[in-house]
């Protein structure tokens, strides 16, 4: 009797593992972002473990012109492995501009040199899980009046 109960429990465990093991909500890129801007979530990929919790987003402190480029500075989150920054301008939608180590707090964007306003947003990456996006901030690298 105990043996058949053990086999029944093993069968239920295997069935639950099989159901929880397919994570149709994650993409191969580890979460490219949902429509609400919160970044994707994926399971552990082993035995249907729980989905990883998204980290908190970094917070942009300032974006300002400096020496003909845009200086971007933020408050990082301690759990971030990487910071991914996206940039847009009046002629292009958001695209990844740079990726730096999670411990970094600033970046000089040498690609942002034209006389136009560039807007930035950041997100934190831990493993293959992304945070939502940070606040947005903008600057024009040729705007001499706003340099301090």
3-state secondary structure of 18: helix
Query: Can you say whether the dihedral through the CA atoms of 38, 28, 74, 97 is positive or negative?
Result: negative
Residues in the chain: 148
Residues 95-140: tens digit of each pLDDT: 999 999 999 999 999 999 999 999 999 999 999 999 999 999 999 9
Q: What residue spans define the domains of the chain?
A: 59-143
pTM for the model stands at: 0.64
* Assigned superfamily of 59-143: Immunoglobulins (2.60.40.10)
Q: Is the pLDDT of residue 28 over 50?
A: no
Query: What are the pLDDT digits (tens) for 30-77?
Result: 333 443 444 443 444 444 555 678 999 999 999 999 999 999 999 999
Please tell me what DSSP assigns to residue 55.
P
């Amino acid at each position: 009797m105990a043996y058949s109960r053990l086999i029944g429990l093993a069968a239920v465990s295997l069935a639950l593992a099989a159901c929880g093991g397919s994570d149709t909500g994650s993409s191969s890129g580890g979460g490219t972002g949902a429509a609400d801007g919160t970044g994707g979530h994926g399971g552990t990929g082993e035995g249907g473990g729980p989905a990883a919790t998204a980290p908190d987003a970094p917070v942009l402190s300032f974006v300002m012109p400096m020496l003909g480029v845009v200086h971007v500075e933020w408050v990082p989150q301690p759990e971030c492995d990487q910071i991914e920054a996206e940039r847009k301008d009046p002629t292009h939608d958001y695209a990844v501009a740079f990726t730096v180590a999670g411990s970094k707090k600033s970046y000089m964007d040498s690609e942002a040199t034209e006389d136009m306003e560039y807007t930035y947003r950041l997100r934190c990456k831990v493993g293959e899980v992304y945070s939502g996006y940070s606040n947005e901030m903008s600057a024009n690298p040729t705007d001499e009046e706003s340099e301090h």
